[in-house]
Amino acid sequence: MKQPDERDVAARNSERDVSETGFAALGLDPRIASALAALGYEEPTPVQRAAIPPLLEGRDVLAQAATGTGKTAAFALPLLSRVNTAAKGAERTSALILVPTRELAMQVAEAVHRYGKPMGVNALAVYGGSSMEMQVRALKRGVDVVIATPGRALDHIRRHTLQMTSLKTVVLDEADEMLDMGFAEDLEAILEATPKSRQTALFSATLPPRIASIAKRQLRDPVLVTIDREVVAVGETARVRQVAYIVPRAHKMTALARVLDIEQPTSAIVFCRTRTEVDELSETLMARGLRADALHGGLSQDQRDRVMTKFRTKKTDLLIATDVAARGLDVKHVSHVVNFDVPADAESYVHRIGRTGRAGREGVAITLAEPREHRLLRNIERMTSQRIEIAQVPTVDDLRAHRLQLVRTTLRETIMDGGLDKFRGIVESLAGEFDVMDIAAAAVKLFDSHDVTDEPDIPTVHPRPEDRSARDNNRGRDGGRDGGREASRDGSRDSSREGGRPSRGAADDAPRGAKATKRSKPEWSVARLWVGAGRKLKMRPGDLVGAIANEVGIDASVIGAIQIADGYSTVEVPEEIAEDIITALRSTTIKGKKVLVRRDRMR
């Protein structure tokens, strides 16, 4: 592969006259430019300015851009310009967009439909969990753009229901996420099945060696586009206020309810590690009178669609979700993000809190951390170079004072609005018998009927002295066992994803003839699981990583050493969610088969 053609976006934009800015100046089809204007799009984002022109020229593009930078339009708009809507039947498909999750598939399909509506473009989202028969019928009728998850796309290619003969463009969106979920071999198989003359665009939040390897094999002389995250200048306030509460696990639910009561979010996403936790938390919050809905991989597609429609239309205040289920969601009105558990790595944390503070709005990121998780907060601070404020959980007195303040504000607004004459007679009739102040106080008491005196006490937890000193000593300094992981952020995600030092027991406890996948040493208690499938069933580490991440809704980086033997495999997972993982894997299939999953008896 030739050295990528790096384009200086800033210089090019500075030379362009102000009158020539906008989507029309990028060379898009006038019908698409008109559609964008109708949708309220005025100026392209940096990634759109950099990626659209070379894509329109037919060049391959390798783009590094984070979620929320406008990359969907960056690849969707150029490929729409190459669509031949006059074609008919199954060979009509001219573009294939590969994405990691069905939520993102639906979101991209919706965007393609909106952008291409004036041209009559037909887009179809193809993903697992939806009827294969309906997808086959739609593909036979003819679809211009297919947006698919890798597994389902490969199924259709092998069935010959997704035709490649007219394919002009292939896009890999969130490529690093697809690799983390174990889709590397599927992606290679799909790309090998596409025409060699195709145009390829690869978009990824990071560009680790695995992405570079795919780009070298599959892209031809690509234009390299790099869009850095927005950097907050020194002295400026970041759009997202980050705060953490240290609270024992037994009191987390009460703490969450109190924090939500104080914060009064207009719209919030609460992230949990497992679908079981999502269900329990949503039910508890609804029992407390809050409008909450659950979103996880255990819901049917119709249920997921209904939940997201309610959340987008503000009929639900709280969305309780797993990481995988919420990946790809783009809801601009989210005021708060809550981590019910501390994410296992900094990138998951950044991805979660990126759901708030969008479109120039201010956002709040709240994390409920157990005392033993305080070290993880320090790691996140060090890796993101951002401070997380440690606050005390509101007490019963805090809640009472807050609610009385709300009552005071409401009464003041009512007095200012006037229209009180018809109520004066009641006050005057009581004034002859009671003090006017007592009458007003009784009215306030009736108004503030919610009693919080029965709320349980939450123990106050302070960081251990060694935690505080370590935090001060490490601020602004690389070092310790986390230094290597922090340094890796300039290239690969971290050593656990590219083969760092083996986790505990990876060498000493490896079964005879087993192939071990090296991953970084975890910073939490681990459990080893035994899975009744190995090399004889063509089991790969990516199969286990993808199954666990998808079914349980956790980040792939928390999965430790994986060992593949002839008849079985073992995998290290966090101890506290081991039972959830066992339950989830027993209820699904791996490599198309039901397999036995239990704790490894050798440990």
Please identify which residue in the block is written with the tokens 């809507």. Answer: 85
Q: How many residues does the chain have?
A: 603
Query: For position 542, what pLDDT does the model report?
Result: 82
Tokens describing residue 100: 């990691």
pLDDT, tens digit, 9 for 90 and up, residues 485-502: 333 333 333 333 333 333
The 3-state DSSP composition of the chain as helix, strand, coil percent (nearest 5) reads 45, 15, 40
Answer whether residue 158 shows pLDDT above 60: yes
Query: For position 521, what pLDDT does the model report?
Result: 46
pLDDT, tens digit, 9 for 90 and up, residues 177-231: 888 788 888 999 999 999 999 999 999 988 888 888 899 999 999 999 988 654 4
CA angle 12, 15, 16 (to 5 degrees): 90
Q: Who contacts 51 (Cβ-Cβ below 8 Å, separation ≥6)? A: 61, 63, 71, 74, 75, 78, 201, 223, 225
Distance CA 552, CA 274 (A): 5
Average pLDDT of span 319-333: 73
Specify which of 5-14, 273-282, 503-512 reaches the highest per-range mean pLDDT: 273-282
Query: For position 378, what pLDDT does the model report?
Result: 81
What's at 217, amino acid-wise?
R
> What is 5-226's CATH topology?
Rossmann fold (3.40.50)
Confidence of residue 359 (pLDDT cuts 50, 70, 90): low
Residue of 203, 195, 106 lying closest to 147 (CA atoms): 106
CA angle 214, 215, 218 (to 5 degrees): 80
In the Cβ-directed half-sphere of 139, how many Cα atoms lie within 13 Å? 24
Q: Is the pTM of this model over 0.85?
A: no
Query: For position 232, what pLDDT does the model report?
Result: 39
Answer whether residue 466 shows pLDDT above 60: no
* Higher per-residue confidence, 149 vs 518: 149
Report the run of H or E that residue 135 belongs to, with start and end: helix 132-141
Mean pLDDT lowest among 209-213, 430-434, 552-556: 552-556
Q: In what order do the strands lie in the sheet with 240-246?
A: 292-295, 318-322, 268-272, 336-339, 363-369, 240-246, 389-391
Burial class for 364, CB neighbours closer than 10 Å (0-12, 13-18, 19+): buried
Average pLDDT of span 350-369: 81
For residue 394, give Cα distances in angstroms to 255, 261, 455, 458, 460.
Answer: 8, 9, 11, 9, 10
pLDDT, tens digit, 9 for 90 and up, residues 559-600: 888 888 888 899 988 887 888 888 888 877 787 778 889 888
* Higher per-residue confidence, 289 vs 592: 289
Query: For position 167, what pLDDT does the model report?
Result: 93
* Higher per-residue confidence, 421 vs 125: 125
Average pLDDT of span 309-337: 81
Answer whether residue 154 shows pLDDT above 80: yes
Distance CA 109, CA 76 (A): 10
Residue of 400, 376, 405 lying closest to 388 (CA atoms): 376
Confidence of residue 14 (pLDDT cuts 50, 70, 90): very low
Mean residue pLDDT of the chain comes to 77
State how far Cα 535 lies from the chain centre: 32
Confidence of residue 273 (pLDDT cuts 50, 70, 90): confident
Q: Say what percent of the chain tops pLDDT 70.
A: 77
Answer whether residue 10 shows pLDDT above 60: no
Answer whether residue 453 shows pLDDT above 70: no
- Per CATH, the architecture of 502-599 is what? 2-Layer Sandwich (3.30)
Query: For position 454, what pLDDT does the model report?
Result: 57
Query: For position 334, what pLDDT does the model report?
Result: 87
Report the run of H or E that residue 50 belongs to, with start and end: helix 46-56
Strand 526-531 relative to strand 569-574, pairing: antiparallel
Q: What is the DSSP letter of 205?
A: S
CA angle 488, 491, 495 (to 5 degrees): 40
Helix (H, G, I), strand (E, B) or coil at 221: coil
Query: For position 357, what pLDDT does the model report?
Result: 76
CATH superfamily of 240-394: P-loop containing nucleotide triphosphate hydrolases (3.40.50.300)
Query: For position 602, what pLDDT does the model report?
Result: 60
Query: For position 207, what pLDDT does the model report?
Result: 84
Query: For position 234, what pLDDT does the model report?
Result: 38
Helix (H, G, I), strand (E, B) or coil at 95: strand
pLDDT, tens digit, 9 for 90 and up, residues 50-81: 999 999 999 999 999 876 677 889 999 999 98
Distance CA 61, CA 52 (A): 9
pLDDT, tens digit, 9 for 90 and up, residues 377-397: 887 887 778 889 988 888 887
